[in-house]
A = this chain, B = another copy of it.
């Protein structure tokens, strides 16, 4: 298989932890609902390909996300998976369901945008954040690791650019609540590299260490990998991505466009940054899932390394 020539670059991390979101963020945004046994095999295959953090599902109310309504059936099938398996919990009810099944890592999903809080929750940003307090407190009491997703860190569809100081304030609030790590999300994909560096610098200046931060870029405008590279240069070592670019339809205007794990791994391998991932096995897994979904993967690396004739 073709592999990139390895040319390390000074000042970059030697290892990156990929937080694989395909099974949760990816599949929840696909039209088709994937059978539980296929999801279980998908997650096993992702772990076999070397991914060490695989977000498995969401304990959201089935009415909201029917694609992941089988969380209770899926999670027990993953007991033998050799990877961390965080799960999304929208509230205390979801958290209790996850804890009852033995989850040891959970994630809450907040937003940095005032307009998002208003439009989706009819609350102020502070009120919206306060909703997470009991969930995070209960998770810490139960001794589980808590990731805080922060969506709309760079722009939102209502107010446009989201001010950096506002994002810093929300990050501070989530960490003060007890979150162990944060994932800075560019939900609508508008960020560019200078914006990424400016936000990371402002977070550091506010006393938030880079080690507590992951980045989560979307490829809506094709910027996800360049933004990730900018974050690596700042010292970020946790990067979210989605196997095969799951969750973003390549020809839909509304594409969420998750960064494809394969495109990320290609770059990291070329930079000599260790991820533990076997790219060939990962590509084979994404092709297998694309067959289940009935459409080609939007990942350029998957297409280039495809095992099939096209």
Contacts and interface: CB of A to CB of B under 8 A. Distances in A.
For the residues of A in contact with B, the DSSP-based class is: loop
A76 interface: no
A221 to B, nearest CB: 5
Interface string A299-310: 111011010011
A5 B269 CA distance: 31
**Most chain B beta carbons < 10 A, residue from A8, A263, A303, A309:** A303
Interface in A184-241: 189-195, 197-198, 219-223, 225-226, 228-230
Most buried by B among A219, A226, A309: A226
A272 interface: yes
Contacts of A223: 225, 263, 266-267, 270
Contacts of A226: 225-226, 228-229, 267
A260 B160 contact: no
A170 to B, nearest CB: 17
A301 B222 contact: yes
A116 B222 CA distance: 31
A296 interface: yes
A151 to B, nearest CB: 16
Interface string A268-307: 0111100000000000000000000000100111011010
Given A220-B304, A222-B300, A271 B192 contact: yes
B270 A192 contact: yes
A270 B191 contact: yes
Copies in the complex: 2
Chain A interface size range:
35 or more
Contacts of A192: 4-5, 7, 266-267, 269-271
Contact of A194 (B2, B9, B160): B9
A273 to B, nearest CB: 9
A257 interface: yes
Nearest to A193: B229
Contacts of A195: 4-5, 7, 270
Nearest to A219: B300
Interface string A231-257: 000000000000000000011110101
Given A4-B190, A7-B194, A263 B310 contact: no
A59 interface: no
Nearest to A196: B7
